[in-house]
Amino acid sequence: SDATRKANKQNSTCFRACKGLFLIVVCLLLVSVGMSMYEKFSNRRVGIGRKISENCWVPSGRKTCAPQFIIAGAMKSGTTSLWSYLLHHPDVLGLMSTQLDPQNLRSVVAEKEVRFFNDPGYTTLVEEYGKAEAISYYLDIFPVIPPPTANSRDLMLMTNKNKITGEATPMYISSPGVAARVKEALPMVKLLILLRNPVDRAYSHYWFRKNLKSTAIDANEFAIAGTT
């Protein structure tokens, strides 16, 4: 009868709709699982690489040497001076960029302090990009140094061959979790830790803060005087 055919048609339409909805849910679940597996696989690559020479460790998925050293230490213990002295050596290269990631969630301070591995910056970057991609952005701020075995027609690239690079972030020494993160991402990096006699360091820090305050006061007085 017409009523039966109409009911069957409605049931068929409902079945197709449910089937379509079921397929959509399955697809979404598969995409979610796939993204989760990709993230886990990417994170497993962190800290994996090849040691080409004593001064060159190439992370997995990259073709150039990772930074070879990190300077850390107490404030006013000479980290900036050591960084400056090292850069005077023709085989030591500074950073290539002061912007760590596309959204500029983290930027380099004083052209040497990347501050990547300490919080809250590290957690923010990992949550935004994932650990593997965040570390990739970190590696991108360093100059391109080809492995000693590299052979390229790019003369500009080959001028960096056998050179080294690194960063200087004093606060790494006092930030929880930094040591484990550095070991995970850069297992072959050399750590240069600077300490100083506590009394001398405190005295130097006192004058550093006092001079900053005096400079600010003098600048304000000069600005006010110049407008009258």
Tell me the mean pLDDT in the region 207-219: 65
Cβ burial, residue 155 (10 Å; 0-12/13-18/19+): exposed
Can you state the angle between helices 131-140 and 2-44, rounded to 10 degrees?
50
Neighbour-count burial of 128, counting CB atoms closer than 10 A to its CB (0-12 exposed, 13-18 middle, 19+ buried): middle
Q: Exactly one of 76, 112, 131, 163 is catalytic; which is it?
A: 76
pLDDT at 189: 95
Q: Model confidence at 125, in pLDDT bands (50, 70, 90)?
A: very high
> Taking residues 151-171, what's their average pLDDT?
85
pLDDT for the residue numbered 57: 94
Question: Measured between alpha carbons, how far is 135 from 139 in angstroms, rounded to an integer?
Answer: 6
User: What is the rounded distance in angstroms from the CA atom of residue 89 to the CA atom of residue 72?
Assistant: 19
Q: Tell me what pLDDT residue 163 has.
A: 94
Binned at pLDDT 50, 70 and 90, residue 149 comes out as confident
CB neighbour class for 3 (10 Å; exposed up to 12, middle 13-18, buried from 19)? exposed
pLDDT tens profile 54-93? 889 999 889 899 999 999 999 899 999 999 999 999 999 9
Residue (of 56, 82, 71) closest to 167 by Cα position: 71
Give the total residue count for the chain: 228
For position 42, what pLDDT does the model report? Answer: 43
**Residue 64: which of 130, 133, 162 has the closest Cα?**
162
pLDDT tens-digit readout, 12-30: 666 566 666 656 655 655 5
* Rounded CA separation 222/59 (Å): 52
Specify the pLDDT at position 22: 59
Parallel, antiparallel, or unpaired for β 69-73 and 164-168?
parallel
Write the DSSP symbol of residue 65.
P
Q: Give the list of residues 6+ apart from residue 83 with CB closer than 8 angstroms, or none.
A: 71, 112, 168
pLDDT tier at 97, thresholds 50, 70, 90: confident
Q: What is the pLDDT of residue 44?
A: 47
Give the per-residue pLDDT at 208: 83
Q: Kindly state the average pLDDT of the residues 131-153.
A: 90
With a pLDDT cut of 70, the percent of the chain lying above it is 71
The predicted structure's pLDDT at residue 221: 44
Tell me if 115 is assigned to a ligand binding site.
no
Which pLDDT does position 93 carry in this prediction?
95
Are 115 and 187 within 8 A, CB to CB?
A: no
pTM recorded for the entire structure: 0.72
Q: Where are the beta strands (DSSP E) in the chain?
A: 49-53, 56-59, 69-73, 92-93, 164-168, 190-194
- Per-residue pLDDT, 90: 94
Q: How far apart are CA 27 and CA 175, in angstroms?
A: 43
49-60 pLDDT tens trace: 999 898 899 998
Confidence label for 165 from pLDDT (cuts 50, 70 and 90): very high
Say if residue 196 carries a ligand binding annotation.
yes
Q: 210 an active-site residue?
A: no
Measured CA to CA, the distance from residue 164 to residue 185 in angstroms comes to 17
Domains of the chain: 45-210 (3.40.50.300)
